[in-house]
Chain A
Amino acid sequence: MLTTLATLAALTLGAVRQDRDPGSRDTTVAVQPGARLDVNNFGGEIVVRVWNQNNVRVRATHSSRSRVEVSSTAAAVMVRTAGRRGPPSIVDLELTVPAAMAMTLRGHYTDISVEGAGGSVSAESTQGDITITGGTGSVVVKAVEGDVTLSRTRGRIQVTTVEGDVRVADAVGEVVVETVDGDIFLQRMDAPSVEVSTVDGDIVYDGTIKDGGSYRISTHDGDITVGIPPSASVRVMVASFDGEFDSSFPVDVQRSGKHRFSFTIGTGKARVELETFDGDIRLRRPGEVNVRDARNRNQNRNQNRNRDEDHDY
C-alpha cells in the first residue's frame, strides 16, 4: 500500500494535497435483475457493500481534477473514473449494490474491498490489497502486488498474484491459488479440490480432505503445513529436495525414490500431493494447525533474508 500511495503521489506531480480538495458525487441508479456491476478506477479505493434494493448507489470522493461517470444498461451498471486533464488521480468509490449482483472490479493503484457479495466477483488490481467477503459461483482475483484476503466464499476461487500473501478462510469450493513471493494460508476450508503454489513462501492448509478429492500444494522455498482429519481416507505423496518431514500422528511411509515417499491413511480415497524443494513438510491434526506460528516463522525468515541482502550491498 505504501508503494501505491508513493506512486500515486508521483503521478499527481507532487500536488496531492492541493488536488485533494474534495469533489463528490452521490448517484443512485435502478438495475434490472441479473445486471452486472462493472467498475474501473485507476487509483484509490473501490469499496462495495450490499443491500436489499434493486439499486446501485455510487458515492465518490475525488479531487477537482477527476471525474466519475456512471452509466447503466439492462445488462450492466458501469462506473468509470478519469482525469479531466492529464493523468487520473485518486478517486475513492463506495458502492452499495443488490446482494446477488455479479461484479467486475478493476484498478491499477487501487485497493478493492467487497463485503457480503452474493454473486460472482472478479477483482483485478496491479498494486493494492484485495479483500472479499462472500462471493458465489466464481471468485477470480488477479493482482501484481498486494495482499489478497477472501472469506466466506461459495464456489470456485482462482487467485493469481505475484507479490503478496493470500489468505482464504471459511470457503466452500474448489481453490486455485498461485503467487510468486508470498505465503498462502487456507483455513477452515471445505474444498473438493485444491491447487496452490508459491515460489517463495509458506503454505498452510487446514480443512476437509474429501473422498475423491485432489489437493496439490507446492512451494520452492518454504514450509508446508497440512491438517489431516482423523477420519480422512487419503493417499499422501510427499516430495522434497532439502527438507524434513514431520507428522504429529503415525504414518507408514514407503520411500519411492530419493526425493519422494508416500503413505496411505484409511483406504486412500483422496489424493494429497505435497512438494517443497527447500523447506519442511508438517502434517497435523486440524486443531494443531497453527497459522500464527507459520506467519511468525515466515516473518523471521524474511527478516533474516533482508538482513542478508543488506549485508550484500
Chain B
Amino acid sequence: MNHQWTDRLSEYLDGELMSAERDALETHLAGCAHCRDTLAELRAVVARAQSLENRAPAADLWPEIHARLTVRRRFSLTVSQLLAASIALVVLSGGGVWLALRDGSGTSDPTMAAFPQLVAPAGTPVAWRARTDMAVAQLEETLAQNESRLDTATVRVVRQNLGIIDRAIEKAQRALQADPGSAYLNLHLAQTMRRKIELLRRANALAVAES
C-alpha cells in the first residue's frame, strides 16, 4: 500500500488536483485496492452528508460543513475529518442533541463547540464519540431523576428499548474495533447513538409533561 495519496483523495474527489497529479493518482488507484476502497468510502460519506442537508438542526450548521466541503483550493478535509464531520451531522440531525451538547460544552461559540473536528486538524470520529457519550450520560442521569413521574408501563417500554439500542451500539462498537476505518460502521454507530439520544430526550419530555 502506498499512503502518500491517502490525504489527497478528498482533493481528487473535489476535482482540485492538477492534471499531472490527477493522472498519477489514477495510475496509483488502478493498483491500490486500499486507496480505491478509501475513495469509495469518501464518496459515500460525502453523499451521506449531502443527503442530510434537509435535516440540519435549527442552529443551521450545514452551511459551515458545506462551505468547507465545497470551497475550492482553500481548504481540504482529510479522510478522518470528513468522516468526523459526517458523523457530527448524523448525530446532530436530531435537533435536541444540539442543545444537549451545547449545554455540556462550556463554550459560548455553539458552532465550534459542536464541531471540534472542523477546527482541530487532528479531529477524529473517536473524539466526537466521547462528546456524544457525555451527552448520553447527562440525559440518562436526567431520566433517572425524572422517571418516577412516568407510569411503570412507559418506564418498562423505555428501558426495554434503551436496552435494544445499547445492544446495537455494543455490536457496532465491537465491529469497529476490528475495522476502525470503516465509514459505514462509524456512521452506523453514529446513527444508533442518535437513536439513543432521541429516545432519552423523548422519555425526559414525557416525564416533564407528566409533572
Q: Within 8 Å of chain A (Cβ to Cβ): is B149?
A: no
* Bound Cα distance A127, B152 (Å): 12
For chain B, the bracket of interface size reads 35 or more
Inter-subunit contact B206/A126 (CB<8 Å): yes
Tell me the smallest distance from the CB of A102 to a CB of chain B, in Å: 23
Docked pose: A101 CA to B175 CA in angstroms: 50
User: Is A257 a contact partner of B37 (Cβ separation < 8 A)?
Assistant: yes
Given the contacts A200-B168, A241-B185, A6 and B153 also touching, CB distance less than 8 Å: yes
Q: In the complex the two chains form, is B51's CB within 8 Å of A216's CB?
A: yes
- Considering only residues 170-207 of chain B, those with a C-beta below 8 Å from chain A are 171-172, 175, 179, 182-185, 188, 191-192, 195, 198-199, 202, 206
- Residue from A3, A239, A258 within 8 A of B153 (CB atoms): A3
Contact of A218 with B158 at beta-carbon distance under 8 Å, contacts A256-B44, A260-B41, A277-B168 already known? no
Cα-based distance from A181 to B165 in the complex (angstroms): 9
Q: Which residues of B contact A265 (CB under 8 A)?
A: none
Known: A162-B202, A241-B185. A257 touches B41 (CB 8 A): yes
The reply to whether B182 and A127 contact each other, CB–CB distance below 8 Å, is: no
Say yes or no for B109: interface residue by CB 8 A criterion. no
Point out the residues of chain B lying under 8 angstroms from A180, CB to CB: 161, 164-165, 195, 199
Q: Indicate which residue in A7, A178, A200, A271 contacts B151 across the interface (CB closer than 8 Å).
A: A7
Is there an interface contact between B191 and A218, defined as CB atoms closer than 8 Å?
yes
Q: Is B43 among interface residues, defined by CB-CB distance under 8 A?
A: yes
Within the assembled complex, what's the spacing in Å between the Cα atoms of A237 and B157?
33
Q: Which residue of A lies closest to B36 (CB)?
A: A256
Give the CA-CA distance A220 to B172 in the complex, in Å: 9
- Bound Cα distance A144, B204 (Å): 13
Is B40 among interface residues, defined by CB-CB distance under 8 A?
Answer: yes
Interface string of A116-159 (1 = CB under 8 A from B): 00000000001100000000000000001100000000000000
| A277→B188 contact, CB < 8 A | yes
Main secondary structure of the interface of A (DSSP, over half): strand
Using an 8 Å CB-CB cutoff, how does the interface string of B27-48 with A read, 1 for contact, 0 for none?
Answer: 0000000001100110110010
A56 to chain B, nearest CB (A): 26
Q: What's the least CB distance linking A123 to chain B, in Å?
A: 16
Measured CB to CB, the closest approach of chain B to A222, in angstroms, equals 11
Chain A residue, CB-CB nearest to B176? A241
Assess whether B168 is in contact with A257, with CB atoms less than 8 Å apart. no
B41 — which chain A residues lie within 8 A by C-beta?
A: 256-257, 260
Q: Which one of A126, A197, A199, A259 contacts B185 once the chains associate, using CB atoms below 8 Å?
A: A259
Per DSSP, chain B at the interface is helix
Taking CB atoms, residues of chain B closer than 8 Å to A278 are: 171
Decide: A258 and B179 in contact? CB cutoff 8 A.
Answer: yes
Tell me if A110 is interfacial: C-beta within 8 Å of chain B.
no
User: With an 8 A cutoff between CB atoms, is B154 at the interface?
Assistant: yes
Nearest-neighbour CB distance to chain A for B77, whole angstroms, equals 19
Which of chain A's residues have a CB closer than 8 A to the CB of B148?
A: none
List chain B residues, Cβ under 8 A from A258: 37, 179, 182
Q: Tell me whether A256 and B168 are in contact in the complex, defined as CB-CB below 8 angstroms, given that A163-B161, A241-B185, A277-B188 are known contacts.
A: no
* Interface check A221, CB cutoff 8 A: yes
Residues of A contacting B188 with CB < 8 Å?
Answer: 220, 239, 241, 275, 277
Find out whether the CB atom of B157 lies under 8 angstroms from the CB atom of A144. yes
- Residues facing B in A45-99 (CB within 8 A) are none
CB contact between B164 and one of A3, A6, A199 (< 8 Å): that residue: A199
- The answer to whether the Cβ of A113 comes within 8 Å of any Cβ in the partner chain is no
Q: Are B182 and A162 in contact (CB under 8 A)?
A: no
Residues from chain B with a CB closer than 8 A to the CB of A214 are: 51
Answer whether residue B107 sits at the interface, using C-beta atoms and an 8 A cutoff.
Answer: no
* Contacts beyond the supplied A144-B158, A162-B158: 10 A-B pairs with Cβ under 8 Å: A3-B153, A163-B160, A199-B164, A216-B51, A220-B171, A237-B47, A259-B182, A260-B44, A271-B47, A275-B184
A-B contact pairs, 24 of them (CB 8 A): A3-B153, A7-B153, A127-B153, A127-B157, A144-B206, A145-B157, A162-B202, A163-B157, A199-B161, A199-B192, A220-B192, A237-B47, A239-B44, A241-B184, A256-B37, A256-B40, A257-B182, A257-B184, A258-B179, A259-B185, A271-B51, A273-B51, A275-B184, A277-B172
The 9 closest A-B pairs by CB, nearest first: A256-B40, A220-B168, A180-B161, A239-B184, A259-B184, A145-B157, A257-B37, A7-B153, A200-B164
